Structure 1
Amino acid sequence: MRNHVEERQRWMAVLARASCQELEQAYSDLSDAPPYVWLRPPESGLVLLRGQAGETGTSFNVGEATMTRCALKLADGTMGFAFSLGRDQRQAELAALFDALLQRGGETVSVALKVISELERTQSLRRDLKSRKTASTKVDFFAMTQAREPE
């Protein structure tokens, strides 16, 4: 049970980080998009962001962020949910649809897992590129103080 929950959390994180264009492309690649009804149509609102200084620091309010949530149900009764940062309602809709597809049995699961793995790979490449760009600007202050001329 725990393994399935962790796997679903990973899928949901990948779907939440995916752009609307990536999800639209994956949706257009589906051979047969299933019909669905809304349990909760996409709606945008604010969430409070909390921060913490260090592992033992006191929590504090950082600010607010816009997010969109929705829930849908496929014809076979499978439900899909999505929460994403921003106000893109189509992104949340597609993420919820893929969440529902990942919970179904049969061939649609393998198609949805292929989409998730491709999105995850793309996101990993983006993260690595961003890390390399950030690392290239790193300044070693200890080395700078050691290189200083004695007075």
Structure 2
Amino acid sequence: MAHGNEMRASWMAVLAKAPSGRLAALMPDLPAHDILRAPEIGAIMVEGRIGGTGARFNLGEMTVTRCSVRLDGAEGHACIQGRDKDHARRAAVLDALMQGGAAARIRAEVLDPLTGAATATRRARAEKAAATKVEFFTMMRGED
């Protein structure tokens, strides 16, 4: 079951990080669904760790929007950064669809294009950063 939870966490992350307009373009029409928790805006505390593993500290608050829906017996949930209620609802519906028989179609039509675009964006950002990389070296002095 942990493997299934990891897969679900993966597609939920893709949906949450996707640009809202791109997600809406890939899935313009939502199937009929029941709202369990209407999209609502709130804030969460973001924690950091010194060096990634050290002591925790509160970095600050971040605005999020969450939503929960039921579709064909499956519950879909979403929590996205920002105040876009439509994005949260669309992501929750897609989460529910991914738990049913439409999973392969949703993966091919929505998740794969979003994942490809995110990979291309990361690659372009890394290439841009690599172009500005400066190599430093130290010359040893003979006295030491």
- TM-score, scaled relative to structure 2: 0.89
Alpha-carbon shift at residue 48 of structure 1 (Å): 0.6
Are 1:111 and 2:100 an aligned pair? no
Correspondence for 2:131: 136
Residue of structure 2 aligned with 1:90, choices 86, 104, 112 = 86
Q: Distance in 1 between matches of 2:52 and 2:32?
A: 46
Alpha-carbon shift at residue 139 of structure 1 (Å): 2.5
Identity of aligned residues (%): 40
Question: What root-mean-square deviation, in Å, do the aligned CA atoms of Structure 1 and Structure 2 show?
Answer: 1.5
Correspondence for 1:99: 95
- TM-score, scaled relative to structure 1: 0.85
Gaps of 5+ in 1: 147-151
Equivalences for residues 1-151 of structure 1 within 5 A = 1-28=1-28, 33-74=30-71, 76-105=72-101, 108-114=102-108, 115-140=110-135, 142-143=136-137, 146=139
Alpha-carbon shift at residue 55 of structure 1 (Å): 4.3
Deviations 1:48-99 (A, max 9, x none): 111111244211111111111000111x221110010010111111100110
Q: Distance in 2 between matches of 1:56 and 1:2?
A: 24
Q: Distance in 1 between matches of 2:132 and 2:56?
A: 30
Secondary structure at 2:24 match in 1: helix
Secondary structure at 2:27 match in 1: helix
How many residues in Structure 1 have an aligned counterpart in Structure 2?
138
Moved over 6 A (4+): none
Q: Distance in 2 between matches of 1:56 and 1:89?
A: 34
Q: Distance in 2 between matches of 1:59 and 1:139?
A: 32
Gaps of 5+ in 2: 140-144
Q: Residues 51 and 37 (structure 1 numbering): CA distance in 2 closer, same or farther, change over 3 Å?
A: same
